[in-house]
Structure 1
């Protein structure tokens, strides 16, 4: 679900070159993402997915190229769920909604959508990996930011929770938001565009088996 209180934002990337650990992971990379669109970056570890997401979020400086978007429009979900173990699920979501300037009145509805209502008073430190991920996704939904950058968002989720994630993304896009997700598996998001970052297969020399 989405309160649609944000202003939709476009994303434009041109001739980007990115390095990680002194090694080039992307070069000459360009893309555009319009409001209402979901883009899935598909590729194995080391293909540059996470580095690209971090660059889009203003966390990594490109060696070359331009990124046409404001980092203040972004809600970022990395591998870590960013939850304090001592806080309850409800307290954590209230904190993040306030930090982002989101709509706290949507808290109960988002918890229901992500199957967290019965965990509202559980401390985050006692949650399973899937429950933590659902809580982290709920904080993104409460962020009031038009652009969601999600790194392996479905990794610890079961099939039902993946369906909830897909519905959450669809709702955000229908409200004019944009989603870019990095993954090494098919997320099954209906209507999403896929950017394949997997390296091209090496061509064998003629006559060599």
Structure 2
């Protein structure tokens, strides 16, 4: 796995500078992840079985994403697309993606496919709240079109984020960057809790983008 090259400025952290904030954020990550995995285990088993019944292939989907400071890690998801969905090259996820299976369309809409990422949170590769992690190659590509796109890598990526509760799949990379930079510059426990609260509203309303 190859790291995304960062400029020296990207090594500087932004947001809430209080010493206690990263510690409280990590405790929140671990606590919510453990609760989420315990409550979500029946859903993982049920939809995992449906995925295997509908199409051949693995239940879980693994993909390289860029984490904090561009360091790569393997993200975990329930498989929502047909096997070899990217045989013609990497593509950015869009609404009503034709590559999604019938079960996949449901678990993507309800965000059930993201539940395994709680394991990534427990490992410390992700946080509950932060910019959504993207593939290294797409970050390089978007950076050529959107100035400052790599600045999303200044913080640990998240399961949900400020961009996810403010838009859907129709958001462009530039629009997502604007929301992500707002979060990076204003990080705080209060903002994290606000985003977590709004995320439940997004899940109930069936809107938002992951």
| Superposition TM-score, scaled by structure 2 size | 0.27
Structure 1 or 2, whichever has the larger Rg, is 1
- Structure 1 or 2: more helix by fraction: 2
The structure with higher relative contact order (CA 8 Å, sep 6+) is: 1
| Superposition TM-score, scaled by structure 1 size | 0.27
- Structure 1 or 2: more strand by fraction: 1
